[in-house]
Amino acid sequence: MGTPASQGQLAKIARAIATYVEYQRELGVLGFPRSVPGHAAAARPAPRVAASVDLFADASVAQARTLSELRAAIGDCRRCKLAPHRTQVVFGVGNERARLVFVGEAPGHDEDVRGEPFVGRAGQLLTEIITKGMRLRREDVYIANVIKCRPPGNRNPEPDEVATCEPFLLRQLEIIAPEVIVALGKFAVQTLLRTKTPITQLRGRWHDYHGIRLMPTFHPAYLLRNPGDKRLVWDDIRKVMGVLGIGGAPA
């Protein structure tokens, strides 16, 4: 048996639990399942990937005050079944004080290798939108994904992976506190807005994500296949520039 916990340690544990419960409540969790000894669920074999929450790691996610604290709290994440397949966690890149954040779906092969979002072909197009279209530098904005690990074979992320990973994005956005989010592509848009409405109906209009203005637009990878729709993305980006009060290239 170990030594009994001191008052100070108990107070620390109580604070961690309170922070974690409040954090889950903000995410919309209304209750926690009860684990009943001898219940069928308790007899199931342990999952290969730890499904249990590491209370202290996740309390430190909720308590992170800077992006580097948040990155440290995420650590060498093993919270979902993507972990064994990825090379590294692709956390995000850019300005911690950015007024504008771009959110994509998940890292692809190039991002998984380099550890930075949007560095492949689609990323080059996003960089052009930022630099040539908006006349900003990539370092002026922040770029992240809903999912921080590459899904094998670039398949769509699954609901349990989104549920595990989205809190990290939410905390990233709370820390950065941007004025505008641009959500890139059907998956990011539908996930963040909790809707199945087609992106063609969502794009070009303002939406709300936890109190931040969100503009959905097409994913740069889609634009590589459908260059004719660049005009629509430019319309959406001009609305963003209008709200941010920035100039940019003439239409």
β-pairing, 142-145 with 93-94? antiparallel
Work out how close the CB of 102 gets to ligand URA at its nearest, in angstroms, rounded to a whole number: 9
Which residue's CB atom is positioned nearest to ligand URA?
A: 104
* Distance (Å, whole) CA 85 – CA 150: 8
Q: Is the separation of the CB atoms in 179 and 104 below 8 Å?
A: no
> In this complex, which beta carbon is closest to ligand URA, that of residue 62 or of residue 188?
188
Work out how close the CB of 235 gets to ligand URA at its nearest, in angstroms, rounded to a whole number: 21
Burial class of residue 12, CB neighbours in 10 A (0-12, 13-18, 19+): middle
* Distance (Å, whole) CA 134 – CA 72: 32
Asked whether the CA dihedral 132, 111, 61, 193 is positive or negative, the reply is positive
> In this complex, which beta carbon is closest to ligand URA, that of residue 64 or of residue 221?
221
> In this complex, which beta carbon is closest to ligand URA, that of residue 122 or of residue 180?
122
Q: Is the separation of the CB atoms in 179 and 210 below 8 Å?
A: no
- Going from the C-alpha of 244 to that of each of 207, 211, 238, the distances in angstroms are 16, 16, 10
Work out how close the CB of 177 gets to ligand URA at its nearest, in angstroms, rounded to a whole number: 22
Work out how close the CB of 89 gets to ligand URA at its nearest, in angstroms, rounded to a whole number: 12
Q: Is the separation of the CB atoms in 213 and 181 below 8 Å?
A: yes
- Chain CA centroid to CA 183, Å: 10
> In this complex, which beta carbon is closest to ligand URA, that of residue 108 or of residue 133?
108
Q: Is the separation of the CB atoms in 187 and 105 below 8 Å?
A: yes
Beta bridge partners of 104: 145
Work out how close the CB of 112 gets to ligand URA at its nearest, in angstroms, rounded to a whole number: 9
Interface residue list for ligand URA (CB under 6 A): 104-108, 111, 117-118, 120, 122-123, 145, 221
Work out how close the CB of 143 gets to ligand URA at its nearest, in angstroms, rounded to a whole number: 7
Work out how close the CB of 123 gets to ligand URA at its nearest, in angstroms, rounded to a whole number: 6
> In this complex, which beta carbon is closest to ligand URA, that of residue 59 or of residue 173?
173
> In this complex, which beta carbon is closest to ligand URA, that of residue 118 or of residue 168?
118
> In this complex, which beta carbon is closest to ligand URA, that of residue 115 or of residue 204?
115
